[in-house]
Amino acid sequence: MLFRSLGIKDYTIGEGNFNINYMYTLLPMFQIGGFIRNETSTQEIKYEAGGKYKDETRQTIFGLRATFNFKEELKNSFYITAELSK
């Protein structure tokens, strides 16, 4: 196995995403709203020699969003969205 030849005993990777958003209809074909997104990523390597490496990153993103629908019937409409986030 390739990992054994590199001296790696175990390798684990994981990702998590959590999103909340809200849109408010200003006009029949135009909505505006905001969102919060939380993303995590973890990586852990255990070596045959007994060492361990662990890396974890987290970020929280806040943003505003505006959506234009091409029809007034929202469930059966194509739309375009612009988003600004930090």
Q: Under 8 Å CB-to-CB from 52, ≥6 apart: which residues?
A: 44, 45, 46
Is residue 22 scored above 70 in pLDDT? yes
- Residue 76: pLDDT band (50, 70, 90) is confident
- What residues are paired with 18 via a beta bridge? 38
Mean pLDDT across the stretch 14-31?
94
pTM above 0.85, yes or no: no
- pLDDT at res. 7: 81
pLDDT of residue 56: 94
Tokens 């739309």 locate to 79
Q: Which residues of 47-60 are buried (b: 16+ CB within 10 A; e: fewer)?
A: eeeeeeeeeeeeee
